[in-house]
Structure 1
Amino acid sequence: MKLTPLGDRVVLKQLEAETTTKSGIVLTTATQEKPQEAEVVAVGPGTEDVKMEVSVGQKVIYSKYAGTEVKLEDEEYIIVKQNDILAVVE
C-alpha cells in the first residue's frame, strides 16, 4: 500500500530518537522525547497558491505538534502541511 498526499501535504517518516546524550548519558525510553526530525517519504502536488519546496528523501525539521500520525503496514508516518515544516537539514 502507498500513501499519496493531496494538495500541500507531505508524508514524513520520523527518524529514530537518540539513545544517548552528547556527554554519553544513556536515556531510558520514558525520558526520550520524540524527535522533530523526519525524512520526506512523499510530497503532494501543491496548490495554486502553494509551490512545493521539499522533495522525497530530504531530512526536515517540523513543528512539534504538527500533523496526523498514521500507521500503515507496521510503519508509522506523519502527514503534515508544508507550512508545518520549519527547515531542511543538509
Structure 2
Amino acid sequence: MATDVRIQPLSDRVVVKPAEREAQTKGGIFLPDTASKERSMEGRILAVGAGRLDDSGKRVPMQVRVGETVLFAKYGGTEYRVDDVEYLILSEKDILGIIQE
C-alpha cells in the first residue's frame, strides 16, 4: 500500500488517484470551467485489495498492480477526500483498461 493512502481496499477494490483535467487541449483551445471540472476517467493505482473470492472460496488474483495508470468507468467508484486530495475506490470490474506508457 502506498504511504500517502490511509485506506486499504478490500476484496477486488482499488484506490485510484484521478489524473488532473487539462484546462487547455493539445491544439491550444482553452476549455471552460464546466468541462475542466468534470471528473477524469484516468488515474494511477495507489493500493489494491487481495482479490475476490470465487464460488469455491479460492482467491482470484487482481489483474492490476500499484503504480499502473488505468482508464475507468466515468461514473464508477466512490469518491473520498483526505487533506484536500481526491481519491476513488473502484471495483476491479469498473477498470476498463491499463494505459501503456
Q: TM-score, normalised by structure 1?
A: 0.91
Does 1:8 pair with 2:12?
yes
Does 1:84 pair with 2:94?
yes
Secondary structure in structure 1 of the residue aligned to 2:93: helix
Q: Give the conservation status (yes or no) of the 8 Å contact 2:18–2:44.
A: yes
Match of 1:48 among 53, 56, 68: 53
Separation in 1, partners of 2:20, 2:92: 21
Structure 1: give runs of 5+ residues left out of the alignment: none
Q: Which moved more, 1:23-32 or 1:62-71?
A: 23-32
Give a deviation string over 1:15-48, Cα, whole Å, max 9, x none: 0101112321011322223220010010000122
Identical aligned pairs, as a percentage? 43
The structural deviation recorded for 1:76 is 0.9
Larger-gyration structure (1/2): 2
Q: Give the conservation status (yes or no) of the 8 Å contact 2:17–2:43.
A: yes
Structure 2: give runs of 5+ residues left out of the alignment: 55-59
Kindly tell me the number of residue pairs found equivalent between the two proteins.
Answer: 90
The structural deviation recorded for 1:74 is 2.1
Give a deviation string over 1:38-79, Cα, whole Å, max 9, x none: 100100001223320111110000001100001122211000
Separation in 1, partners of 2:32, 2:90: 28
Does 1:63 pair with 2:63?
no
- State the Cα RMSD in Å: 1.3
